[in-house]
Amino acid sequence: MGNCGTREENAVVAAHAQVQQLHLLQHSDKNALADRKHTRTSSDTEVNFLGQLRHPNLVKLIGYCCEDDHRLLVYEFMFRGSLENHLFRKTAIPLPWATRMSIALGAAKGLACLHNAERPVIYRDFKTSNILLDSDYTAKLSDFGLAKAGPEGDETHVSTRVMGTYGYAAPEYVMTGHLTARSDVYSFGVVLLELLTGRKSIDKSRASREHSLVDWVRPKLSDKRRLHQIIDPKLEGQYSVRAAHKACSLAYYCLSQNPKARPLMSDVVETLEPLQSGGGSDGAVVHAGGLPEYRVRRSLAGNSVHCRAIPNPKCSSAVPACRVR
C-alpha cells in the first residue's frame, strides 16, 4: 500500500498492533476535501513527532502507510484501552486510588517529556480518551494529531487556530489562540480532577451548576472540610486523606486562571511521585491555607504585584530523559 515506513520489523509485534486511524473512504464534495486535508496534516504530525520521540509514557508508533489521501497509523497494542473507558463506562470496575495516582504520574511524565524536549512540543489535546493503558495500567499518551512545536528563542507563545476538546482547553488559549506549555498544564489539571472525582469534564446530565467539572469543583479544592464532596464515592473511602488533599491542591494550581501561576509539568511530576505510596508524606509543603507552597517570585511594577511559579531545580531528575532520534 503506497509508501510505508516502520520502526519495528518484528512481525509478532506488528501482528498485535493497534490500528489508530484508517481512512479508506472516497469523498467528492468540498467538505470531504477539507476533511482529507486535515487527515493528512494530522497523520503527518503524528508520524513527525512519534517518529522522533521515545519515552515509556508515549505510545509507540510501530509503523505507518500512506497512499494518495489514505493514511494508516499503527500503534503498539494497549491492552486496557483508554482511561476514559475505565473512569466513565458504567460497567467498568472502579480504579483503586493507587492506580489512579500511578496513571496521573505516568501521564504527567509523558507531558513533561514533550515540554522538555530539545524543541518543546505542546500536546494540545490532553484528555482521558487520549491516555491509553497497557496491561500493567502504565499510562501512555496517544493521538498527536494536534501537537504543535513550542515557541523558540524570545517567543512567548505559538499563535494558532483554536483546536482541542471543549472542557479541557485552557481558557486563555480558547480566547486568544495563544498556545504555551502551560495550556497543557491546565488540561492536565482537568484530567486530574476527573481521576479524583470520577466525573466527566463536561456532563450535561447533571444539575446545571455541575455541568462544568472545573466550575463546580474549583471552590472546594482548597477546603479540607469539603474533601468528601470531591473524591469519587466509588473509592468507598479507600484512599489517604493527606494524599487526596495534596492531589486536590495540585489540581487547584494547574487550573489557575493565570497561566504563569501554573506549575511546570516537571513540578507536577515531583509533587505526584510521593503520592504513589498513598501517604504523601514527602510531597509539596502544605501551609495553613491547605495549598502546596510553590516558590513564588514577585516583581513590583508600580503598585502591582506579579507572581509566577518557579521550577524546582530538583525536578529534572524526576523525569526520564526523552530520547530523540
**pLDDT of 62-92, one tens digit each?**
888 888 777 788 889 999 999 999 999 999 9
Is the per-residue pLDDT at 98 higher than 80?
yes
Decide if 106 contacts 165 (C-beta within 8 A): no
What are the pLDDT digits (tens) for 134-144?
999 999 999 88
Task: Check whether residue 159 and residue 288 sit in a common domain.
Answer: yes
CA distances from 278 to 18, 104, 131, 246, 273 (A): 33, 13, 22, 11, 10
Least confident of 92-96, 128-132, 151-155, 269-273: 151-155
Same-domain status, 20 and 141: no
CATH number of the CATH domain containing 283: 1.10.510.10
pLDDT over threshold 90, residue 255: yes
116 in the same domain as 26: no
Percent of the chain with pLDDT over 70: 68
Say if residues 194 and 211 touch (Cβ distance below 8 Å). no
Does residue 214 register a pLDDT over 60?
Answer: yes
More confident residue, 151 or 239: 239
pLDDT (tens digit, 9 = 90+) per residue, 273-322? 999 875 444 334 333 334 444 443 333 333 333 334 434 443 333 444 44
Provide the pLDDT confidence category of residue 147 given band limits of 50, 70 and 90: confident
Residues 180 and 206 in one domain: yes
| Mean pLDDT of all residues belonging to the chain | 78
Helices assigned H by DSSP within 166-323? 171-176, 181-197, 213-217, 227-230, 241-254, 265-272
The H-or-E segment that residue 314 falls in is none
Same domain, 149 and 179: yes
Q: Are 150 and 207 members of one domain?
A: yes
Q: Residues 203, 310: one domain?
A: yes
Q: Examine the pLDDT at 186 and tell me if it is beyond 50.
A: yes
Q: Give the model confidence (pLDDT) of 164-182 as tens digits.
A: 899 999 999 999 989 999 9
Clarify whether residues 150 and 260 are in a common domain.
Answer: yes
Mean pLDDT of 104-133: 95
Express each pLDDT in 196-208 by its tens digit. 999 999 999 999 9
Which domain CATH number covers 31?
3.30.200
Place 45 in a pLDDT band, splitting at 50, 70 and 90. low
Same domain for 217 and 194 = yes
pLDDT in the model for residue 249: 96
Just list the catalytic residues.
Answer: 125
Same domain, yes or no: 71 and 88: no
Total domain count for the chain?
2
Tell me what pLDDT residue 2 has.
Answer: 52
- pTM for this one? 0.74
Q: Smallest Cα–Cα separation from 234: which of 96, 128, 91?
A: 96
- Residue at which a domain ends, from 43, 75, 107: 75
Considering 75, 91, 116, which residue would you say is the last residue of a domain? 75
**Cα–Cα distance, 180 to 213 (Å, whole number):** 23
Q: Give the per-residue pLDDT at 153.
A: 67
Q: What is the pLDDT of residue 278?
A: 57
- Asked which of 75, 104, 130 is the last residue of a domain, the reply is 75
114 shares a domain with 59: no
Q: Give me the pLDDT at residue 157, please.
A: 76
The reply to whether 184 and 71 lie within a common domain is no
Helix or strand holding residue 39 (H, E):
helix 30-50
Query: What's the mean pLDDT in 261-269?
Result: 97
What is the structure's pLDDT at 65?
A: 83
- Domain interval for residue 58: 3-75
